[in-house]
Structure 1
């Protein structure tokens, strides 16, 4: 007999990707309109939410017995659904360990604890392999990760942690510990110049990274990353979702960038 909720609405991408990875996609009856992973989800499931807003009426028509969302930013959506008698789980994880624990907890909630444990262990092994490869680097690059360009917003905690695993060091580690984007705003772009990153990675949520605009910022020509042409994009769905994507494709892309930087300076 199948246990756990049978009709789940996912307000963000990471529960959708996790449930598909666990083979529990038949439980999903609605997803976020921003979902791109896995690609088949967009074809198979109705889209009923954005990130800060949701079609409450459409969600209720789906008769969900469980709704999964992420962060305090979705508190108003959660509150309205709770008032309508819907069971809601809002996770608020912001670290690599938190993402792995999230996979385990979500799996347990749908009666797939064993598969979720195995999946999380596999994700951890992938991270360990990348970290072992990065430990052989002769020098670790300093990395500025930019989540948004106007205003400048630096990377969140799991991004900084994945950078370390990939062999780089976030130049704003103190800001990475701040959970809210407004607390990671750089009022003075000169702060980046002074911290002199070797690599700049842009992941502008929902729009294309423009390295030529970054390079043209006043004074930024003095930054080693700009001088050496080390400006790279990682697509936001790969790294800005606190789910499996960040721990797989996202960190692998970081590792590729860091390893290429190391080879260009030290030979193959």
Structure 2
């Protein structure tokens, strides 16, 4: 199969990997996707944040975090392929990895639909195209189901951090997910992808609902009442993995989003 079929997010062509390839994933959602593609015996390392599927990653060596990769540990695993993401991993670190790893696969899904190309990129490189196709069919069904429904438009503030309060811009994967149910993240045109905001009258004036994500900050139910009292707005806790993780989890994430959007505040 021609190399040109397997082109990553930076335009690099990748050949079909051999059965003796050694894969390290530096992206939690893509570690889970590799297992969903049936590549268990080829995965040799992960980050400490790669926690799914829990029972299958438990014995995999860790190479640090997504932003703080321990290059000595990574080198010791002798990977033939390392999977990274433009948002998750530092460019300088990726460049250092490329100096001693033959194949660095760069990913950058920005919307739920992008998962189809992602499935076929990794499924193609690692000889799992039938599995990738099955995932694509399931994902497309979930997307089509959401798009076929009539959703009332809502303006939401999706908080990912506190001290300072931080949210997401419209060009993030999270915002693209929420748009499937006609939820528009605010502010509408921030200058950065993850802007700092104040929970003041200016920020809250156009907000219908505040969502507290369970990651990267661990918002919990105890925060819901606190922020509701502070803002006077409806506040709900949302599963951050289901909304922000691309890869195979996006399929379950679409079903979660449907049920979440249908539930009352």
TM class by shorter chain equals 0.7 to 0.9
Q: Which residue, out of 233, 236, 240, partners 2:240?
A: 236
- Candidates 101, 126, 147, aligned match of 1:110: 126
Counterparts in 2 of 1:148 and 1:130: CA distance versus 1, 3 Å = same
Q: TM-score normalised to the size of structure 2?
A: 0.80
Structure 1 residue 61, shift from structure 2 partner: 1.2
Change over 3 Å in CA distance of 1:196–1:86 after alignment to 2: same
Partner of residue 210, structure 2: 200
Q: Which residue of 2 aligns with 1:155?
A: 168
After superposition, the C-alpha distances for 1:163-208 in whole angstroms (9 at most, x for unaligned) are: 1223433343434x95x42xx22256434311131x2211141423
Q: Structure 1 CA distance, aligned partners of 2:199 and 2:226?
A: 17
Root-mean-square deviation (CA), in Å? 2.4
What's the secondary structure of 2:156's corresponding residue? Answer: strand
Q: 1:213 to 1:76 in 2, by over 3 A?
A: farther
Which protein has the bigger helix share?
A: 1
Match of 1:251 among 248, 251, 254: 254
Displacement of 1:53 after TM fit? Answer: 0.8
User: What residue number does 2:225 align with?
Assistant: 212
Gaps of 5+ in 1: 226-230
- Match for residue 145 of structure 1 among 155, 158, 165: 158
Aligned residues: 242
1:144-178 Cα distance to aligned partner (Å, 9 max, x none): 21122222222352222221223433343434x95
The alpha carbon displacement at 1:29 in A equals: 0.4
In the TM superposition, structure 1's runs of 4+ consecutive aligned residues that sit over 6 Å from their partners are: none
- Corresponding position of 2:96: 80
Q: Is the 8 A contact 2:79 2:101 kept in 1?
A: no
How far apart are 1:143 and its partner, in Å? 2.3
